A and B are shown apart, each in its own frame.
Chain A
Amino acid sequence: MNHAPLAPACAALLRRDLTLAWRQRGDIALPVLYALIVSTLFPFALGPDLALLQRIAGGAVLVTVLLAMLLALDAMFRSDIEDGSLEQLMLSPQPLAPMLGMKILAHWLTTALPLIVIAPLLASLLHLPVAVMPVLLLALLLATPLISLLGAVLVALTAGSRRSGMLLALMLLPLCVPVVIFAAGALAAAQQGLPWIAPIAWLGAALALAVVLAPLACAAALRIALDS
């Protein structure tokens, strides 16, 4: 029996997921809308004081983006589990890990990328200095895929369970802590005019590790959670 080689299979899976996401365009807009709402609430809660808003802007945008991602994370494999296509994927001759990597990539492209695109808008709503904007984007570009990859492992673990939602947040929090610390550390350093390359480099190293390991862990977790 001959079957499709890995690369075309990955491309087909990516195309399928992106097409499915495009047909549900409204769902893409939801996290963006959520992030926008949360960011506009900050000034109302804290007052329009420019210096205060400037100081918290970086961290506030970061946390808002992470929470918006958490909101969408739950749905990463849900429809695929419900219609059985995830089990098809597990039975397919191609290795599971790279295929799941593609699914994670598709999820990142449809949920995190729109958030990164509007992040400058959110940041300027909170008066983040323009000079810090590139660092914010860089930190988000490294931190959001990290969250997607780590989150995917946990979503896979909850795949066979009755309820997730709150449980997913509880499980993700410990994994999020270092990511938030380094991303926010880079922002804080940049805002004070200090060198910010070290935390960014740590994030990059973590991302490189996660890109290799997380799909493997995700595949193992999925086999455990759906093994019956």
Chain B
Amino acid sequence: MSGSFESFLAMGGYAAYVWPSYAVFLLVLLADWLAPAFRRRRILRELRGRMARQSARERGKDGAAPFPPAP
């Protein structure tokens, strides 16, 4: 069994060409898949920050709290 697995890995002597090809294929698509997920997190975080600032400003307008409370 292990012999056949080794021969599978060896790819008839072309392992150096076959496996890098598949690795590039999978890695590039993985990067393509993950990029929008990170971007989405960043966009929503920035948006929440903007919303928090806005609501703080609106509260300030009512006279309840002129400045957002210090952290």
**Do the two chains touch directly in the complex (Cβ atoms below 8 Å apart)?**
no
